[in-house]
């Protein structure tokens, strides 16, 4: 996305231009004799312009830092969220041809002999990828029917065991279900809520068959807990799952993570024996799921780069303003030291001069960061909590860092002997 790169580069160029234009404009208005007498630092308006620019830099920096922190928290939330199934240690092997699909049963039997394979199954699709959609008739009030589009999955034997998806009630597919007069299906909790059932097992669902004389009548044999069949950009949809063992799609193999290399070797040998000549390809489910968020990860890296740049520029500006302000206060500090003021009083004197600027900048940065983060999080259906503590702690940290920078320059001035600061007055 070129916009993501040209926008910050354009802003950086604009800031660089303004950084050179403002001083040049200001210096062009200063009389030569005033400059030779070091009267420049006492010209009215110079300090105000500096404070305005530094305040703007500080506001943007704090907002960007908070936004980057919350984006990082969101990506950590994505990595750690319970999806309703166990995404770890699951190999995904694409089954592209019908012949391989017909040998899945033999492949699974062979894999079951390996001590490094915990379970295996097949499915038409994998979580996060394209899930099919079908239309069902939903009963309404007074016997009326309405049509609803739901997710539709075809899975093989031991799918729920392999994916570690929990049942709420009912059971998984069995041989008895295959000879039933009705079409056995398993549904998720979202489907139960949509249908308004209190006892879903045994209920009938009419699946609309476009272009055919009659619809399919299915019977619910089990209910599983809700799981994320899509990425976290989408809510969990009502889902109907049916049994189909010999199907082209993906073979799911849960391996022993402690013996990963041995498990991989056993799977590869099995395919080489039963499907020689067919290229063996695989991936891991957890890594495939993270690919669903590549755009957000790129944005996070870009924001992280801008964060470093913003921190550098803002604290560079704050350092310059602190040095500029302390130079203005040199004589006042000398007089106060003659009257008995200590270093702590000098530091507080300078900090009070800039405190309002820092506090106002932080106060403006907090709602700006909240707005930026909410806009970015709007792409997700599931988000981390925007806890107020994150904003408060970030604001206090920014104020504390500013205090350290100002203190450093204040202490440098406080160390100068009063006789050196007042001898020309």
Specify whether 247 is located in the same domain as 312. Answer: no
CB atoms within 10 A of CB 147: 10
Q: How far apart are CA 374 and CA 386, in angstroms?
A: 9
- Segment 117-128, tens digit of pLDDT: 999 999 998 887
Q: Are residues 284 and 150 in the same domain?
A: yes
Boundary-marking domain end, from 259, 292, 325: 292
Q: Domain end: 237, 267, 292, which one? A: 292
Give the pLDDT score at 90: 95
Domain count, the chain: 2
Of the candidates 146, 157, 214, the residue with the CA atom closest to the CA atom of residue 186: 157
Both 269 and 340 in one domain: the answer is no
pLDDT in tens, 374-420: 999 999 999 998 888 889 998 898 888 888 877 776 776 666 555 55
What are the CA-CA distances from residue 154 to residues 10, 31, 144, 218 (Å)? 50, 83, 29, 14
Claim to verify: residue 57 and residue 149 sit in the same structural domain = no
Based on the fold, state whether residues 124 and 249 are members of the same structural domain.
yes
In the three-class reduction of DSSP (H, G, I as helix; E, B as strand; rest coil), residue 240 is classed as strand
182 and 104 part of one domain? yes
* Residue 335 pLDDT > 80: no
Distance CA 386, CA 210 (A): 45
Residues 6+ apart with CB under 8 A from 250: 92, 93, 94, 95, 122, 123, 124, 125, 126
What's the pLDDT score for residue 40?
46
What distance lies between CA 407 and its chain's CA centroid? 37
Q: What is the pTM of this model?
A: 0.77
Q: Does one domain contain both 150 and 72?
A: no
What is the per-residue pLDDT across 138-149, written as a single tens digit (0 to 9) for each? 776 556 677 889
Q: Which domain holds residue 314?
A: 2-81+299-422
Q: Are residues 257 and 138 in the same domain?
A: yes
Question: The dihedral of CA 255, 261, 262, 268: what is its sign?
Answer: positive
Place of tokens 């979580």: 127
319: Cα separation from own chain's centroid: 33
Identify the residue with better confidence: 257 or 175: 257
Both structure tokens of 271? 């395919």
Print burial letters for 42-70: b (CB count within 10 Å at least 16), e (below 16).
eeeebbeebbebbbebbbbbbbbbbbbbb
Query: Is the Cβ–Cβ distance between 106 and 95 less than 8 Å?
Result: no
CA nearest neighbour of 368 among 61, 71, 72, 77: 61
Same domain for 63 and 204, yes or no, is no
Q: Give the residue ranges of DSSP H helices in 329-386.
A: 330-338, 343-377
Is residue 140 domain-shared with residue 267, that is, in the same domain?
Answer: yes
Do both 252 and 352 map to the same domain? no
d(CA 60, CA 312): 12
Distance CA 342, CA 305 (A): 41
Residues 6+ apart with CB under 8 A from 52: none
Most confident of 10-19, 293-302, 361-370: 361-370
Token pair of 370, please? 């909240």
For residues 332 and 312, what is the distance between their CA atoms, to the nearest angstrom? 30
């Amino acid at each position: 996305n070129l916009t993501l790169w040209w926008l910050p580069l354009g802003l950086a160029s604009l800031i660089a231009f303004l950084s050179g234009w403002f001083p040049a404009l200001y210096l062009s208005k200063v009389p030569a004799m005033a400059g030779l007498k070091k009267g420049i630092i006492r010209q009215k308006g110079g300090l105000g312009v500096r404070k305005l620019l530094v305040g703007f830099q500080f506001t943007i920096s704090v907002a960007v830092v908070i936004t980057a922190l919350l984006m990082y928290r969101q990506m950590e939330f994505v990595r750690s969220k319970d999806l309703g199934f166990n995404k770890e240690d699951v190999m995904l092997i694409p089954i592209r041809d019908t012949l391989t699909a017909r040998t899945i049963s033999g492949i699974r039997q062979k894999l079951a002999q390996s001590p490094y394979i915990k379970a295996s199954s097949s499915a038409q699709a994998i979580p996060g990828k394209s899930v099919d959609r079908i239309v069902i008739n939903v009963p309404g009030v007074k016997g009326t029917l309405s049509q609803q589009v739901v997710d539709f999955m075809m899975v093989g034997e031991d799918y729920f065991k392999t994916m570690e998806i929990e049942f709420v009630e009912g059971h998984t597919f069995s041989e008895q279900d295959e000879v039933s007069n009705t079409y056995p299906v398993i549904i998720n909790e979202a489907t139960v809520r949509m249908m308004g059932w209190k006892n879903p097992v045994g209920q009938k669902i009419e699946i609309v068959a476009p272009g055919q004389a009659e619809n399919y009548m299915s019977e619910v044999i089990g209910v599983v807990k809700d799981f994320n069949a899509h990425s976290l950009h989408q809510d969990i949809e009502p889902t109907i799952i049916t049994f189909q063992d010999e199907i082209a799609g993906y073979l799911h193999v849960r391996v022993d993570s402690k013996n990963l290399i041995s498990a991989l070797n056993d799977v590869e040998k099995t395919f080489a024996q039963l499907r020689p000549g067919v290229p063996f390809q695989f991936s891991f489910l957890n890594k495939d799921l993270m690919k669903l968020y590549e755009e957000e990860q790129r944005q996070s890296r870009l924001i992280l780069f801008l964060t470093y740049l913003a921190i550098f520029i803002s604290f560079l500006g704050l350092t310059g303003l602190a040095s500029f302000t302390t130079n203005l206060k040199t004589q006042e500090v000398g007089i106060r030291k003659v009257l008995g003021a200590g270093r702590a009083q000098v530091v507080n004197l300078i900090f009070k001069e800039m405190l309002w600027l820092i506090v106002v900048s932080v106060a403006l940065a907090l709602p700006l960061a909240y707005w930026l983060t909410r806009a970015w999080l709007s792409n997700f259906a599931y988000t981390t909590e925007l806890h107020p503590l994150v904003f408060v702690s970030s604001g206090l940290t920014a104020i504390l860092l500013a205090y350290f920078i100002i203190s450093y320059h204040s202490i440098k001035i406080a160390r100068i002997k009063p006789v050196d600061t007042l001898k020309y007055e």
